[in-house]
Chains A and B, each alone.
Chain A
Amino acid sequence: MTAPLDVQGSATEAQPEAVLGGVEAKAIEGRSLGQIAWMRLKRDKLAIVGGIVVILLLLIAIFAGVISSLAGQDPYAYHSNLIDPNLSTPKGGFGGMSLDHLLGVEPISGRDIFSRILYGARVSMIIAFLATGVSVIIGVSVGVVAGYFGGVVDQLLSRLMDLLLAFPLLLFAIALVYVIGDSSLVGLSDNNTRIFVLVIIIGFFNWPYIGRIIRGQTLSLREKEYIEAARSLGASSPRILFREILPNLVGPILVYSTLIIPTNILFEAALSFLGVGVRPPQASWGAMLSDAAQGLFQIDPEYMIVPGAALFITVIAFNLFGDGLRDALDPRSNR
């Protein structure tokens, strides 16, 4: 994570000693911006906790299958023997928690909640990360072009971003999922088509946020002396864009990607909550909450709390880590 920031090689310009202030300087040697950022990040305990939780979540998402089979559970298997036939709630207290079913079972169907939460994490992460990738690619390209070339190009692209931000996001996303429907695209299976569609839609609606920030950053970078120097040495526009400007945008890109991931996780959950997200029986936290909202929360509150808590922990972990990363990479911020 630290390496790309070294490209600039302008440790003297950033004056690391001045920035660090109170931190004891063991030996006088130049520190790269990446090293400084890492030192700051290490001191931010909340960010580190957030980072650790994020890594754990990623591991859970990757190894969802392994973990749930270790626990001996299948996310799609029904366990009607664990459901009270009269109330359709899980037998036993706390939503049917037991050593077999660590987080209990779903009301009515009796599916294992623990393994469904794991698989839900996987779906959530896949969609959020891929969608963030889409947003970053579009946002950075448009932002850099608008900021670097300025003039009419900038005017047009900025208006385009304003326009997109003026769209009722959720409504459009719902309508799009509906219109695209279940037609299978490019030979993907039904579930994967839906995931693909969600990634494109979520990614597409969020790129202007990144685009605006990158445009602003590029605008100020463009006037820097070393860009001027490169230009006067005869460097071509693509060379300046890719070798001089882009490496200096790695910091903001990293920060805003981290901050956009939780937004995307919530977006996916919201769509699934409204019944236009991931298709059942595939597990999704949003869909679990949707079931709970249909009245199940009254007979089995535990079924509402588990996916809600999973969403909350995930989103807050990404937010804490992203905030910490921003503070570490931005020397002006001293909250």
Chain B
Amino acid sequence: MPNVIQYIIRRLILVVVLMWIVSMVTFAIFFLIPSATGTSPAVLFAGKAPTPDTVKSVEIKFGLKDSIPVQYAHFVEGIFVGRHFDNGADKSYCPPPCLGFSFVNNQPVWNEITSDLPVTLSLAAGASIMWLVSGTAIGVLSALKRRSFFDRAAMGLALAGVSLPIYFTGLVLLDLISYNWQILPNVHYVGFTDNPLSWARNMLLPWISLTFLYAALYARLTRAGMLETMSEDYIRTARAKGLSESRVITRHALRAALTPIVTIFGLDLGQLLGGAILTEYTFGLIGIGHLSIDAISRQDLPVIMGVTLFAAFFIVFANLVVDVLYAFVDPRVRYS
């Protein structure tokens, strides 16, 4: 067990380093590229068609005249202790964790993210359960009944699933089920705590669209993994020992086939929590992915930057969780 703790500590250090690099790269993109192409970042902060006066006051308020390393240092400081923005006339306070301050909406980016996060969380949580269960189940059945009608039909459907963009399946579902047949009309977000039933009913179509895409991917992966492990020597050994077929499949084959699925699931979930941009946009759900798109149309750079960093954090964190899970699932990891 000490090995596991050592391993986890090593991974934690890696996460911190990774986040640090990601934040620097993000910062560089948002501050170096505009100056390279001749636009001042202040213009990108100041909202739609800003007057020169606005740009100037934004420049002073957010200290955009300072050198980039100094600005970066202030930014990092803000995450831990908060920041005061002040240009004499206009004062704002951004409490920790300060991921930036939206000049356009006059509030900390963190507030906007947390108010839109429940939508994204609901989307990701429901959809991931649906696709994980259905995807792996279909994959296992397909592998066990290889070349059967079920296998062919499922794999055909899966190929369609991975080839259809989510915004197309989403629109078709909306058009048929929500608009034409009025089965689930007027999709909008209802808080889980307000009305769980209505929450689930409104989330159903987005969940189904996401499930169609991801379950297809997972079914293909599970099937390939199962076919590979089922031909391994240890499966023959397990059968030779006289284990029941169901035990061979669940305890030996499936467990080995599922390990790569765990990795991919962690990454996909991390990406999705960082904003299911296309799904949110298709269904008009205001999650944090939609927030970043809105921020672009209203020229609100701090929000775009904050959301990007926040999303990166989720992905890095998901990586960590996967790695730690691995240490428990797969004994080989502990000794590498």
Listed in ascending order, the chain A residues whose CB lies under 8 Å from chain B are 163, 165-172, 174-176, 178-181, 183, 185, 262, 266, 269-270, 273-276, 289, 292-293, 297-298, 301, 304-305, 308, 311-312, 315-316, 319-320, 335
Q: What would 10 A/B residue contacts be, using CB atoms closer than 8 Å?
A: A166-B312, A166-B315, A170-B278, A174-B292, A266-B165, A273-B165, A289-B167, A308-B171, A312-B168, A316-B160
Q: From B39, B159, B175, give the contact of A181 (CB < 8 A).
A: B39
Chain B nearest CB: distance from A194 CB in Å?
Answer: 13
CA of A167 to CA of B168, assembled, Å = 25
CA of A107 to CA of B40, assembled, Å = 39
CA of A100 to CA of B264, assembled, Å = 48
In the complex, residue of chain B having the shortest beta-carbon distance to the beta carbon of A292: B171
CB <8 Å contact, A167 and B292: no
B274 in contact (CB, < 8 A): yes
CA of A175 to CA of B302, assembled, Å = 11
In the complex, residue of chain B having the shortest beta-carbon distance to the beta carbon of A167: B312
Chain A nearest CB: distance from B205 CB in Å?
Answer: 14
CA of A184 to CA of B176, assembled, Å = 43
CA of A274 to CA of B165, assembled, Å = 13
Task: Determine the chain A residues whose CB is within 8 A of the CB of B18 once the complex forms.
Answer: 163, 166
CB <8 Å contact, B168 and A311: yes
Task: Determine the chain B residues whose CB is within 8 A of the CB of A170 once the complex forms.
Answer: 275, 277-278
- Tell me the interface secondary structure of chain B in the complex: helix
B172 in contact (CB, < 8 A): yes
Task: Determine the chain B residues whose CB is within 8 A of the CB of A262 once the complex forms.
Answer: 163
Task: Determine the chain A residues whose CB is within 8 A of the CB of B174 once the complex forms.
Answer: 297
CB <8 Å contact, A172 and B308: yes
Report B258-277 CB contacts with A as 1/0, cut-off 8 Å. Answer: 00000000010001001101
CA of A168 to CA of B26, assembled, Å = 11
CA of A40 to CA of B37, assembled, Å = 51
Task: Determine the chain A residues whose CB is within 8 A of the CB of B314 once the complex forms.
Answer: 168
Task: Determine the chain B residues whose CB is within 8 A of the CB of A305 once the complex forms.
Answer: 172
In the complex, residue of chain A having the shortest beta-carbon distance to the beta carbon of B312: A168
Give chain B's interface residue range (CB within 8 Å of chain A). 35 or more
CA of A304 to CA of B112, assembled, Å = 32
With A169-B271, A172-B308, A179-B34 known, 5 other A-B pairs at CB within 8 A are: A179-B301, A181-B34, A304-B172, A308-B172, A312-B160
B42 in contact (CB, < 8 A): no
B44 in contact (CB, < 8 A): yes
CA of A150 to CA of B319, assembled, Å = 24
Task: Determine the chain A residues whose CB is within 8 A of the CB of B315 once the complex forms.
Answer: 166-168
Q: From B21, B30, B167, B307, give the contact of A179 (CB < 8 A).
A: B30
B282 in contact (CB, < 8 A): yes
CA of A166 to CA of B58, assembled, Å = 32
Interchain residue pairs A-B with the least CB separation, the first 8? A308-B168, A168-B311, A316-B163, A183-B37, A315-B163, A168-B274, A171-B308, A179-B33
Known: A171-B311, A183-B39. A293 touches B277 (CB 8 A): no
Task: Determine the chain A residues whose CB is within 8 A of the CB of B39 once the complex forms.
Answer: 181, 183
CA of A315 to CA of B159, assembled, Å = 10
B297 in contact (CB, < 8 A): yes
B331 in contact (CB, < 8 A): no
Q: From A301, A311, A335, give the contact of B165 (CB < 8 A).
A: A311
CA of A262 to CA of B164, assembled, Å = 11
B179 in contact (CB, < 8 A): yes
Task: Determine the chain B residues whose CB is within 8 A of the CB of A183 once the complex forms.
Answer: 37-39
CA of A305 to CA of B277, assembled, Å = 21
CB <8 Å contact, A171 and B167: no
CA of A185 to CA of B39, assembled, Å = 13
Q: From A167, A180, A311, give the contact of B33 (CB < 8 A).
A: A180
CA of A280 to CA of B168, assembled, Å = 20
